[in-house]
Amino acid sequence: MQNLITTSDFTNEEILSLFDDAKIFSDLQTRPILKGKLIVPLFFENSTRTRSSFEIAAKRLGADVVSLDVGTSSRSKGETIFDTVANICAMKPDLIVIRHSQRGLPQSLVEHVSCPIVNAGDGENAHPTQALLDLFTILEHFDSKVKGKKLAIVGDVKTSRVASSNASLLPRFGIEPIFVAPKHFQVADTKLRQYEFLSEIIDELDIVMSLRTQLERHSQIYYASLQEYAKDYCITKKCFGKRDILLLHPGPVNRNVDIDDEMLEDKRNKILKQVQNGVAVRMAILKKLLLQN
């Protein structure tokens, strides 16, 4: 049985074949190949896009979805996460999607469950489906010319699971991730190139991935206000100029902090394309784990 806990669970060949399916699914039309399968999303952390993306993907493939409303579940009555999951498993779902603030939790659940698990984000650790949809969006644009392309991940790279999953996935396909972050957000133990300002590297770049500042994961206050941070890190038309650079963001975007209004209207912005591709890629992942396992 195969799970998706980090992107290293899939070989490059598996990822490319997953993307072949995602291309077929990219019109997001209904194809009921998972009829009779039951998918349980367990989101112990906030989510708009990822949760709805998984649910829409499952329903477009004809699967049934039963989401646990964590706020009203027995977690608030003192049950441990392991017991909650054991109880869900006793009801025989075919696949569990889990998001939790604790790093490593999806991995530690693997041996306790009898169905595939998909990690929808564990703390600062990993967000494999986001990195896969990012790679799919990049490949859709650059196709066979992707090798040697350079992507700057800008902002709070230190606490971002999107940054860490992309940093390990993209080099496998010949893309160089580069971190651009204020000193307090820089990563100490990385082999990647790291810069303080986008202007130092922008002329080399093919792709910019802007990130939200993950205030909920900070143990201290690093700067006076988000507006203060935005002075140097908000992506504007002025900083992109006429350069042919693709602009990505995993969402949710803090308007005029991560990216300004004008750049959100710009043709180089592929954020909604990422959202659309996210459903197609998750459809392909559900198909793979439910039909090939």
If one asks whether residue 161 binds ligand NCD (CB under 6 A), the answer comes out as: yes
For ligand NCD, the closer CB: 3 or 254:
254
For ligand NCD, the closer CB: 38 or 44:
44
Tell me which of 186, 251, 273, 276 binds ligand NCD, using CB under 6 A. Answer: 251
What DSSP line would sit under 181-245, residue for residue? --GGG--SS-SS-EES-GGGTGGG-SEEEE----GGG-SS--SS-HHHHHHHHSB-HHHHTT---
Tell me which of 100, 149, 158, 212 binds ligand NCD, using CB under 6 A. Answer: 212
For ligand NCD, the closer CB: 38 or 207:
207
Tell me which of 116, 121, 155, 177 binds ligand NCD, using CB under 6 A. Answer: 121
For ligand NCD, the closer CB: 38 or 208:
208
Tell me which of 3, 125, 130, 164 binds ligand NCD, using CB under 6 A. Answer: 130
Q: Provide CB contacts within 8 A for 288, sequence distance 6+.
A: 2, 14, 18, 21
Residue 11, burial from CB neighbour count under 10 angstroms (0-12, 13-18, 19+): exposed
Tell me which of 128, 177, 182, 250 binds ligand NCD, using CB under 6 A. Answer: 250
For ligand NCD, the closer CB: 26 or 274:
274
Tell me which of 37, 60, 100, 127 binds ligand NCD, using CB under 6 A. Answer: 127
Q: Could you tell me if residue 251 is left (phi over 0), alpha (psi between -120 and 50 degrees) or otherwise beta?
A: left
Nearest position to ligand NCD, beta carbon: 212
For ligand NCD, the closer CB: 62 or 123:
123
If one asks whether residue 282 binds ligand NCD (CB under 6 A), the answer comes out as: no
Cβ at position 132, least distance to ligand NCD in Å: 12
Cβ at position 78, least distance to ligand NCD in Å: 26
Instruction: Identify which of 18, 60, 61, 69 has the alpha carbon closest to the alpha carbon of residue 40.
Output: 69
Cβ at position 282, least distance to ligand NCD in Å: 12
If one asks whether residue 162 binds ligand NCD (CB under 6 A), the answer comes out as: yes
Grouping H, G, I as helix, E, B as strand and the rest as coil, residue 258 is coil
If one asks whether residue 50 binds ligand NCD (CB under 6 A), the answer comes out as: yes
For ligand NCD, the closer CB: 127 or 287:
127
Phi, psi of 235 (to 5 degrees): -80, 120
Cβ at position 251, least distance to ligand NCD in Å: 5
> Residues 76-111, buried b or exposed e (16+ Cβ, 10 A)?
eeeeebeebbeebbeeebbbbbbbbeeeebbbebee
CA triple 262-161-133, angle to 5 deg: 65
Residue 175, burial from CB neighbour count under 10 angstroms (0-12, 13-18, 19+): buried
Under rule CB under 6 A, how many of the chain's residues touch ligand NCD? 11
Calpha distance 65→43 (Å, rounded): 13
If one asks whether residue 106 binds ligand NCD (CB under 6 A), the answer comes out as: no
Asked whether 155 and 212 are in contact (CB, 8 A), the reply is yes
Chain residues in the site for ligand NCD (CB under 6 A): 49-50, 121, 127, 130, 161-162, 212, 214, 250-251
